[in-house]
Structure 1
């Protein structure tokens, strides 16, 4: 039986009521009505058990058990008649009873005249789909005749408090709960022995959650807690399903949990996982905003199972912990010892603590805020020259070039500023949303249809640069295209703002450490105001070079004439290249190569690669022809390579060499793809170091890592002892978002290292692209711990 069904059975057993949801209109009977039990004392040594089974119901022969006799009473083996053979979809070949069945229970009573013992059964209703009751236990009391007499005395068996279904539960309530089971409790912890002696007993019902998992916490010092889970024999607690959270207004944050070594357990769903039996104690370092004594409300969520039995649903407990007073020195020392899950000033957070780069930057936001904002502006300047932001330069320059030959420097500055501010505002909003809700707004705009629409917009702008709108198109269509083009080229500030918004959402930057730090700050402190300011300053830093480039374009662009047409043609080609760049995020690489090749060949022909140079041609004419020949050859290489099976635009002819396919295969690392947190936990339980790489088709830095880092032999050697995992979050669905949120990530790219103990090496977490030599050093550090 699956774990899910076991959880449902446990909830029903502890709740004391059952509900059933069937696809027919028939009301489901209570278990005592569906299987009415009557006991009769045949003589002093024999009791007759008879069940009257309602129409449409049946009992499992193997699930009828007796046991738990009172003191002085011994039970013999229960004698049951043969049942009807049935192939059950869950239990295999079984015997069942319909209508009525009687059993004989031998017994011996040493003293007295009342025999009391328990009877447990399990049965089903033959609905479509089939609905099965949980195991049902009943205690019966039978008055036995004196030794010389054997007068039968019929007694109706009462329901006990331990029954799985409450006698007073209405039929409609029963109908809404049991229908979710859909199958019998095949793995319910019942007596599997052939005899039903007093020692064997009957079904061993699982303990209530409060008894199966006892949770308590005390303060062992001003800066440390001790949490303890205690389980009876045969119960265990999942390590990776356990969470601890202090009250939001407590001013207390927990350090990174340092779990003791557990037991590797083979789970039917999670694979090899770490669990704890009997008792586990967890020391917890804490960080406190205040040193006065007080009461901390600590909430824990955890999950556990009965060994070879049911699994409990996620349990939540809240305890009150008395925190002692702490002096200023004790408070500072305790905060320094605790890992900085709650952001502290950099001087404290770094004391004896290993941090990732984005953690250190996030901590800086909590220290000197003015200095932190200046730093984030500087980070933005650096990001402006990365492959993720650089495509914004030709977009803005093309907009200004398309504004007309008479654009002034002031006009160019205003257009550039509006473009940058619009993109900065949207970029900031997207970051705040990611921090508060864990949802990447920019990733939502990476759908193929959105990227295609944006690419078509670039094509539209490109055609306007080439003057194609002067063709004799239908008048209405020509006017519409011209109107769209003029609005988006910069004829109005609103049009430029629209392009800025679209650029921030679709062409926007990849995740980098400063961006991840600001989002991390927002998510952990719940301070969207200052976190948003940091993001806005970061985006202004990225936009500052754009304002300079756009203003310079307005000043340096030549006025009306042949030169202006040439400049507009250059920007037209740039727009076509950007359209290809957008489509390459989801198209097969062969189509990308074909488009690149076609564009390069067209540019080469436009530059006169196939034209004869006249004698005495000027130097510029010769230079353009040479450039045209280079583009023509490069474009032809892309086309030939695509038809030859190559998938790499940077090495288009590699597929033509002998054995290239094998070589290409060998130079790439063999990653295993995972989808969810559960997939990751299964691999972490294998006891090997693990590298987890987050990837998406629309992530530029992810492809840089694949092309320039993961293909290097030194990197292969450094990762030889690792299990390599790849989380492809291109779809950005709920499972992808849950996996990202589990690690506090805004989006790809990210590379995370785990030790053989299953714990993340947080100090070596990588956000963004990293060259091969530095990556080798990072992998070596992660493997030494």
Structure 2
């Protein structure tokens, strides 16, 4: 009797203790977002990878995953093998995942879309979480016609009752479908950039694009701005210092970054690149004349500054006499952004596509501005070093200023060269080389100056000899002396197409062959780099021996050119599209911007064997 009463009292105490301790145990469970951390990214323009990081002591049900999308069509998800366990809630064996899982989903989308991921998981301690639905924004591309029709999976309703901990041990599940991620081709640069932008996290986008801009800082599109800024700082004379040079560089870089960003946003919102619009004789001619006018200040004709009436207004507004100079430098930087604008590289193309498809000016503009900041690093270095490396006064200063003036004349000629005949280009380089060379040789006696003068004279003479002997390539004026076409480096032979109809006809006429479509323009610096450095590579030519080579010349920027660029979502050349043996574009294999032969060969792996 006493023993029975003792046992009943003990049971009551245990029940009470369990009731009192239950809230504390509930507090030990992780929040759903912490227990099941989800992320999503584009493996390529037509494949989404959805990943979950699962905390220790937790697991997720395979059959509770479901995927829906707004503004996109989804294919059948591909799951990796899980583990089978008997679940008392369902009363059957279920497949589960622990630690981590990545699911790939085919997607057909024309730009930004919203993917909604439904999932459910439980804790070994006995708590089953309510079903979760997590939306994420991504950027996709239209799927090739050969892609299977999308068929979103159907999912049974999720249980609302908690599932107790299972005593059954996990056993390997039957073999599941192979994971698409393992067979997927490496993500292209455009896909990676789209993934960064699609995340919408400025704390990731800004440093990423600053680093990208730093990598672009030493390209032929950005380097011409260095002589402009250097000439401005040199023009300061004795007033130049490290601090002053840095302030001028910041003003110049800020002007360039703001206008560059504005041009990019405008191009994205309009839906067409401004590259071709900027590459016409009137725009380039006006910019060339402006640079020539700026170079005259280096020869002592006038001081480089904004008009005096603007200077006085700016000085009155700020109370600083240097405001006029800073405003002038800012304007020079803004104008110099036109040099960078036509250069279409993969990062710029990715940002423009993002803006055009999402209309998200904040994220796209932040990416462009950050990239411009990265590209400004050499300019800032010029400003910081000016105070200690550049001479302050005297004959040396005058010589340096004249040298920068000549460099600016050379840059003006380089800028207008895309719209000049080869003969005029070579005449310009001849006059510049022989003229400055003769000046240095006749007005100086220092050995270094004489050597520089001789070098300029030789370069001018080479251009002159090449011109009068029939050469028509300013970059290789004596190339025709190497034995003619037989001795010149062989180049890929392209078939030109002028319209979308001609492209489709060419693909249809060559069934069973892979194809490569190259977008080219005479004013495209990177296109010429590809022509001279990549397309002449023997390994590249062997790799493309059996491939149909097509090319679109968009120099004229006419209606057909715009239609082809718009068809493939390009904002300007260079751009290369790869097609499979069925004449369909290979997803995630686009090449935008210059690629060296080794990297280009890696990109061509998408063509298959």
Common fold: TM-score over 0.5: yes
**Counterpart residue number, 1:61:** none
- Name the SS for the 1:680 alignment partner: helix
Deviations 1:357-397 (A, max 9, x none): 11112102334542332121111111101111111111111
Kindly indicate whether residue 575 of structure 2 is the aligned counterpart of residue 750 of structure 1.
yes
Equivalent of 1:677, from 491, 494, 500? 500
Q: Tell me: CA distance 1:591–1:485, structure 2 relative to 1, closer, same or farther (3 Å).
A: farther
> Shift of the alpha carbon at 1:326?
8.0
> Shift of the alpha carbon at 1:769?
1.1
**Counterpart residue number, 1:782:** 606
In 2: Cα distance, 1:371 partner to 1:380 partner: 14
Equivalent of 2:478, from 636, 648, 653? 653
Kindly indicate whether residue 83 of structure 2 is the aligned counterpart of residue 251 of structure 1.
no
In 1: Cα distance, 2:298 partner to 2:178 partner: 62
Q: Tell me: CA distance 1:528–1:624, structure 2 relative to 1, closer, same or farther (3 Å).
A: same
8 Å contact kept, 1:675–1:728: yes
8 Å contact kept, 2:518–2:575: yes
8 Å contact kept, 1:674–1:725: yes
> Shift of the alpha carbon at 1:536?
0.9
Q: Tell me: CA distance 1:378–1:350, structure 2 relative to 1, closer, same or farther (3 Å).
A: farther
In 2: Cα distance, 1:515 partner to 1:350 partner: 29
> Shift of the alpha carbon at 1:605?
1.3
Equivalent of 2:407, from 540, 565, 574? 574
Q: Tell me: CA distance 1:546–1:323, structure 2 relative to 1, closer, same or farther (3 Å).
A: same
8 Å contact kept, 2:535–2:541: yes
- Name the SS for the 2:391 alignment partner: coil
In 2: Cα distance, 1:774 partner to 1:413 partner: 37
> Shift of the alpha carbon at 1:576?
0.6
8 Å contact kept, 1:251–1:288: yes
8 Å contact kept, 1:637–1:652: yes
Equivalent of 1:463, from 296, 306, 310? 296
Q: CA RMSD in A?
A: 3.7
Kindly indicate whether residue 434 of structure 2 is the aligned counterpart of residue 607 of structure 1.
no
Which segments of 5 or more consecutive residues in structure 2 lack a partner in the other structure?
Answer: 1-63, 77-104, 109-113, 119-131, 134-141, 143-150, 159-176, 313-321
> Shift of the alpha carbon at 1:468?
4.2
In 1: Cα distance, 2:426 partner to 2:420 partner: 10
8 Å contact kept, 1:435–1:522: yes
> Shift of the alpha carbon at 1:491?
5.1
Structure with higher RCO (Cα < 8 A, 6+ apart): 2
* Structure index of larger Rg: 1
Kindly indicate whether residue 176 of structure 2 is the aligned counterpart of residue 357 of structure 1.
no
> Quick check: 417-426 or 533-542, which moved more?
417-426
> Shift of the alpha carbon at 1:656?
3.0
In 1: Cα distance, 2:598 partner to 2:342 partner: 24
- Name the SS for the 2:573 alignment partner: coil
Equivalent of 1:720, from 527, 537, 545? 545
Higher helix share: 2
In 2: Cα distance, 1:466 partner to 1:574 partner: 12
8 Å contact kept, 2:75–2:152: no
Normalised by the size of structure 1, how large is the TM-score? 0.52
**Counterpart residue number, 1:164:** none
Q: Tell me: CA distance 1:588–1:762, structure 2 relative to 1, closer, same or farther (3 Å).
A: farther
Deviations 1:180-209 (A, max 9, x none): xxxxxxxxxxxxxxxxxxxxxxxxxxxxxx
* Misfit runs of 4+, over 6 Å: 221-225, 336-339, 479-487
Q: Tell me: CA distance 1:560–1:598, structure 2 relative to 1, closer, same or farther (3 Å).
A: same
1:218-367 mapped onto 2 (5 Å cutoff): 251-254=70-73, 285=107, 288-289=115-116, 291=118, 352=184, 355-367=187-199
- Name the SS for the 1:753 alignment partner: strand
Deviations 1:653-691 (A, max 9, x none): 22234x414544x72222222233222222221222211
